[in-house]
Structure 1
Amino acid sequence: MNHRTSIMSRMFILMGLIFLLPFAILVQIFRVNVMEGDGLRELWNSQAIDYIAIPAQRGNIYDANGSLLATNSAVYKIAVDPFAPGVTRDNLDMVGSVLSRHTGRQASYYRNKIRNAPSNSRYIVLERSISVQAYEDIRELGYRGVILEEEYRRNYNFETLSAHTLGYVNHNLDGMAGLEAKYNQTLKGEDGLQQVRRDRSNRIFAYVGAPRQQPRQGSSLHTTIDSYIQAIVEEELENGIQTTRAKQGTAIVMDPKTGAVKAMANYPTFDPNTPAASDTENRRNYAVSDMFEPGSTFKLVTAIAAVEQGVVDFDEIFETPENGRIQIHGQWMRDHDPLGDLTFKQAIAKSSNIATSELAMRIQPERYYQYARNLGFGTPTNIDLHNEVGGRLQKPFEWSGVTLPWMSIGYEVQATPLQIVQAYAAFANGGKMMKPFVVSHLTDEFGNVKERTRPSLVRRIAKEETIQKLMPVFEEVVTDSGTANWASVEGLRIAGKTGTAQKYIGGRYTTSYRASFAGFFPVEDPSYVILVLLDEPRTSFYGGFTAGSVFREITKRIAGLDDSINRSISPGDQLAEENRIFIPQLVGHTEAGAESILKGTGIRYRTSGSGPFVVDQQPSAAEAIADNVVVKLTLGDIQDGESPDGFVKIPDLREMNMRKAASVIRGLGLEIEMIGSGTIYNQFPLAGELMREGRTVTVRGRARSMQNVTLTAAQ
């Protein structure tokens, strides 16, 4: 009995547990759905809800005239998921057929791409960039397995135009150089947010009524760059580099009254649409990120300091040695040629290193240093561009005994091209230095102006009367008696200074040079300051001839665009209609040599006769012609005894003016040193003598008196 009772007790207990299980389940269901339902549903929502970014549109970049330089374009990518629910082979074939109509590829190309993909791949890219129409046609198919993605790409509408100023972006549309980097956050804007749901497979679904934060679109930049001037500068800089066979070059145009940069160019250049296709070196903006010893363009500092400190008399005569060199603290200082006795004006115009260093040594080192700092050397200009460097200017306690004389002629100091432009702009602006800038104002997505750049005065570099005294001195540089006669433009008053500096490489100065010219015009009311810098020109290393020639071509074309400058020039000298060039000396060169000389000048020619040498040319050397004239070259043999290889027969230069003689001599492959001005009365070597190519011909000139002019006219 007891045994049976025990068994029954156990059965009742088991049956009770069995009956209690559904009750427990019902209780748990009640607890989950009723008692804790709201909390659990909130937890599920928090785990299933996510946020995705809504990309903001990157702002545009415009030039000073409103032309669109940089903008965005939509790029559509298409991929397929072969394992998506409801996707069939026919669906995928239809997608391939639609794509084929728009891309020109065979439909089998897309079928093979899907077939050859990894067996478990659920994201097979068919095209990374399709047209808007293709995007719409595929979207209308409504297949779940089709994945359409919209991306944005940065477009630079004029390709290489102003590439170094604009910069470029990476694959994430983040600025990497230029304005794109400097104003990256301003251009990017701020992405918005879209609330979405994720399912258990981590797939994202949008849903009706989901919260959404709209993006804040990027602001647009309106720059001071004038596309017309920029195109002129880039074209003439490239022509100049090809003509002089220089390694690279930089040119900048600035408004001295405001500091607005009108153009900034470097060559070689690159296309910001495909920056990776160019070397890193070509993508660097030399105008702000490279330093160099400026050479004689730095003599502006010495001239201003000497006049301000009263250590020079404009009638003073500087006696330079007959051999053109002098020893200073054990080091030889040389002029480019013996220059004889010079006034202060002539010392600057002819760029005498000896006279300039003598002036500098009359000034206290601390005062000279302060003038150099006042002109912006040794400190950044703070232009709104990426990667600007500040140059190098040693403090006086770091100087050696030869630092001051050598610094006065542009050595033992390093500057950027932009610093040189800023200094000459301050000189042109009556002594008021303005801060350079490239962005004039910012606008929002609706075109409203958010921020505007106002011209900012940095400091006054000198008294106004000092500038007025020195203006004729630097204007004399751009004359027949100065070193920059090749930079002159008929009918236009220009002032400036040449620079020719040896390059310091590997701890010593080499025979490689940088040639430069910094100038401004018109002198009576300067509107443009231009710097041209050429690295290692091979035809000549003198800044007046190489960089000065590029400056002249840029100036002529810019002046042709400016009505106010054109009106100030007499009708016979209208620059817009001038377009005249001087013919180089071609006689004696081989046909290939003549072609090389004419290359890049725009001069067309045709040949007649037979032979390896040019024996005659029409028009003759140094004659000015319109740019549509065709030069006629006669080919033949040069008789024995005329000119051995590597030598040139010197022509008779007497009674020529300095400019024509310079054109003739340089056309022969020689250099010329001009002493005096006006008409040539003596030359060395004499006419008919032979001279090795690359050597220097010295000519002396003097202005003809009215009595001589009258007598000549009477004869």
Structure 2
Amino acid sequence: MALPNTNSDPNTAALGAQRVRIWYGFLLLIVMIFGVRLFYVQIIRHNHYKNAALSDQLKQYEIPANRGTISARDGNQLIPVVLNQKLYTLYGDPVYIKNPDTVANKVSAITGANASKLANLLRTKDTRYVVLGKRLTPEQNKRLLALKYPGIGTQGQDFRTYPQGDLAAQVLGFVDDSGNGQYGLEQALNSQLKGTPGQLRAITDISGVPLAASRDNTEVAAKSGDNLIVTIDLAIQQQLQTILQKGVKDTKASGASAVIMDPRTGAIKAMANFPSYDPAKYNEVENAKLFANASVSEPIEVGSIMKPLTTAAALDKGVIAPGTTYYDPASWLVNGFRITNIEEDGGAGTRSVADILNLSLNTGVTWELMQMGGGSINDKARTIWHDYMVNHFLFGKATGVEQGYEATGYIPSASDNGAGINLTYANTTFGQAMTATPIQMAAAMAAAVNGGTYYQPHLIDAAIAADGGTTKKTPKVLAANVVAPKISQALIPLMQNVVQKHNFNPGFDQSNYVVGGKTGTAQIAKPGGGYYDDKFNGTYLGFVGGDDVQYVIAVFVDKPTNGGYAGTAAAQPIFGKIAHTLIDESLVTPKTK
């Protein structure tokens, strides 16, 4: 009997071995593929995949810059008028709020907000973010965070504060909730005050919180805005605002504006309008017109305060002299219309240049315009007077003062061949048919009495950069030889004489101080043409000084209703109080010779 064969089939064994080799080969191929791929990813494309991974975790944040502060002088002391304060916005995520009423009551007790309204916000279903309070103090923020309610948080933001209240509000402007300056200096110098934000690129955790220790973080520091020192004198500013407010009340006017300027540099020592507002509560103001600085943004027909400038131009052109006399017929017929004077002062007779200003003769400045044309109003007269208005006194142009929304005013073209152009130009000599702002009138008068240099009106005395470097403002000359120095010396006593001839109570000590000025009563133009018979603006343009003129003062009063001529009854008393205040507070250096 044969025994069974225990040896494997050679073919079967060979097949098994082949299968093993194939599996090993397949596994080796897979390992090689993974190895190649790993080499490709980790070595060749290492930076690419590293950056891709970082991009998911690396976030970019803006680092806010500190906004510059604003300070002014009170005598020799520097006083802050605009500062920054970190305040907080309270927000909630309704998804996390389990008991809206409880949370609302707790929050209300700290913020003072209406608990019912807060609870309704916390029940909102269509948003993950509701604002529960704004401009909360650091103390309120601390108490709110101590509640430790899930879904309740705060976010800090710098807001402007105004230590001096509404002082110079329309000059300063305000900063909105987005951090942008609006009106006044805040708007005009927004980029200088705002600074440059920094940038932080940081690795974040799963919650999006930056990891401070990551070596992949990069930071560009924020650059703070400049701190500004303004030319405003706080003592003068406070007095001006008080005087304006009382003047508006006494004359039952719609409002008033005034500018006090140093004619030797163009520095504005005070600028105010009434009514005004509290910049800390700008969001409560219903009439947006209150935000505007009317001293630079609202030109009007200025009335007879233009007469000293007409006289200065005629003197400078050499067509009249300070002692010139002429026969005034009491009216001039121009383009079919009669130019006349106020009845009690405008009779026919021999008049002097001093009379033109003392009696406020419309016919007198019309005669001065005629002298520019060789005896009549013609192309030559219009061209000369236009040149003085536009290129000497710079009317019809922005002064460039650091304020938002500055208006240019209006000067009619000298080349207009319209039928009434001569009448129009005659009217401009006494401040009708043209418009200007208080700042333009003050700057023009400054040039007329300081020897003939038109300094740019300015509010910035110095800027202090983040690195501590200080840039002092240098007075900028916008026009030279506005009038000759001798014309300034002739105009000053002519305007002093006007003050001496008119009733100021109390009067001025002209032996120690120089006080001059001129009233204006301007008709108000109707929107469709012509003028109102019963609406007027009162204006006054004058100066105060000692050996030289130290302050030029422009006052505009909007539609006073207390009777009398608007310039005399409304604007002149305001000027008088301002001038007396400057003298009484020893802010004017008296004559030494």
TM class, shorter-length: 0.7 to 0.9
Residue pairs, 1:308-707, within 5 angstroms: 308-321=316-329, 324-339=330-345, 340=347, 341=349, 342-364=351-373, 365=381, 366-373=383-390, 374-398=392-416, 400-445=421-466, 447-449=468-470, 451-457=471-477, 458-479=479-500, 481-482=501-502, 485=504, 488-490=507-509, 492-505=513-526, 506-511=528-533, 512-522=535-545, 524-539=547-562, 540-562=564-586, 564-565=588-589
| In structure 2, distance between residues paired with 1:507 and 1:489 | 41
Q: Does the residue aligned with 2:73 lie in a helix, a strand or coil?
A: coil
Which position in structure 1 is the counterpart of 2:80? 68
Q: Residue deviations 1:644-679, cap 9 Å, x none?
A: xxxxxxxxxxxxxxxxxxxxxxxxxxxxxxxxxxxx
Residue pairs, 1:243-282, within 5 angstroms: 243-276=250-283, 277-282=285-290
Which position in structure 1 is the counterpart of 2:302? 294
Residue pairs, 1:155-304, within 5 angstroms: 155-197=161-203, 203-209=208-214, 210-276=217-283, 277-304=285-312
| CA contact 1:486–1:548 (8 Å) conserved in 2 | no
Q: Residue deviations 1:179-238, cap 9 Å, x none?
A: 1111111111111112234567x8444342322221111111110011111111111111
CA distance 1:129–1:532, shift in 2 (3 Å):
closer
Aligned residues: 549
| In structure 2, distance between residues paired with 1:110 and 1:404 | 63
Residue ranges of structure 1 left out of the alignment (5+ in a row): 1-10, 570-715
| In structure 1, distance between residues paired with 2:570 and 2:22 | 106
Which deviates more, 305-314 or 186-195?
Answer: 305-314
Q: Does the residue aligned with 1:303 lie in a helix, a strand or coil?
A: helix
Q: What's the offset of the Cα at 1:501?
A: 1.3
Q: Residue deviations 1:269-325, cap 9 Å, x none?
A: 12222324141222222211222222211112321222233333545444444xx54
Q: Residue deviations 1:389-429, cap 9 Å, x none?
A: 22222332126232332222122222221111011111231
- Given the alignment, which residue of 36, 43, 63 partners 2:41? 36
Q: Does the residue aligned with 2:499 lie in a helix, a strand or coil?
A: coil
| In structure 1, distance between residues paired with 2:541 and 2:463 | 31
The residue type equivalent to 1:35 in the other structure is Y
| CA contact 2:547–2:591 (8 Å) conserved in 1 | no
| In structure 1, distance between residues paired with 2:88 and 2:38 | 46
Q: What's the offset of the Cα at 1:42?
A: 2.6
Q: What's the offset of the Cα at 1:137?
A: 5.6
Q: What's the offset of the Cα at 1:253?
A: 0.3
| CA contact 1:487–1:548 (8 Å) conserved in 2 | no
| CA contact 1:251–1:533 (8 Å) conserved in 2 | yes
Q: Does the residue aligned with 2:553 lie in a helix, a strand or coil?
A: strand
The residue type equivalent to 1:362 in the other structure is Q
| CA contact 1:487–1:549 (8 Å) conserved in 2 | no
| In structure 1, distance between residues paired with 2:132 and 2:22 | 62
Q: What's the offset of the Cα at 1:102?
A: 4.3
| In structure 1, distance between residues paired with 2:548 and 2:465 | 36
The residue type equivalent to 1:545 in the other structure is A
The residue type equivalent to 2:384 in the other structure is R
| CA contact 1:477–1:485 (8 Å) conserved in 2 | no
What is the RMSD computed on CA atoms of the aligned residues? 3.6
| CA contact 1:532–1:550 (8 Å) conserved in 2 | yes
Which deviates more, 338-347 or 11-20?
Answer: 11-20
| In structure 2, distance between residues paired with 1:111 and 1:241 | 43
| In structure 2, distance between residues paired with 1:137 and 1:174 | 30
Q: Does the residue aligned with 2:368 lie in a helix, a strand or coil?
A: helix
CA distance 1:117–1:332, shift in 2 (3 Å):
same
CA distance 1:140–1:397, shift in 2 (3 Å):
same
| CA contact 1:530–1:551 (8 Å) conserved in 2 | yes
| CA contact 1:514–1:541 (8 Å) conserved in 2 | no
Which position in structure 1 is the counterpart of 2:3? none
Which position in structure 2 is the counterpart of 1:52? 61
| In structure 2, distance between residues paired with 1:114 and 1:386 | 38
| In structure 2, distance between residues paired with 1:21 and 1:239 | 101
Q: What's the offset of the Cα at 1:33?
A: 4.6
The residue type equivalent to 2:508 in the other structure is V
| CA contact 1:195–1:206 (8 Å) conserved in 2 | no
Which deviates more, 21-30 or 418-427?
Answer: 21-30
| In structure 1, distance between residues paired with 2:108 and 2:334 | 79
Which deviates more, 245-254 or 147-156?
Answer: 147-156
CA distance 1:131–1:79, shift in 2 (3 Å):
same
Q: Residue deviations 1:569-602, cap 9 Å, x none?
A: 9xxxxxxxxxxxxxxxxxxxxxxxxxxxxxxxxx
Q: Does the residue aligned with 2:296 lie in a helix, a strand or coil?
A: helix
| CA contact 1:485–1:544 (8 Å) conserved in 2 | no
CA distance 1:279–1:98, shift in 2 (3 Å):
closer
The residue type equivalent to 1:296 in the other structure is S
| In structure 1, distance between residues paired with 2:369 and 2:110 | 73
| CA contact 1:488–1:494 (8 Å) conserved in 2 | no
| CA contact 2:110–2:143 (8 Å) conserved in 1 | no
Q: What's the offset of the Cα at 1:256?
A: 0.8
| CA contact 1:80–1:125 (8 Å) conserved in 2 | yes
| CA contact 1:166–1:178 (8 Å) conserved in 2 | yes
Which deviates more, 339-348 or 486-495?
Answer: 486-495
| In structure 2, distance between residues paired with 1:109 and 1:89 | 16
| CA contact 2:447–2:482 (8 Å) conserved in 1 | yes
CA distance 1:390–1:115, shift in 2 (3 Å):
closer
CA distance 1:24–1:289, shift in 2 (3 Å):
farther
TM-score (norm 2): 0.82
| CA contact 2:263–2:446 (8 Å) conserved in 1 | yes
Residue ranges of structure 2 left out of the alignment (5+ in a row): 1-15, 374-380
TM-score (norm 1): 0.69
Percent identity of the aligned residues?
A: 25
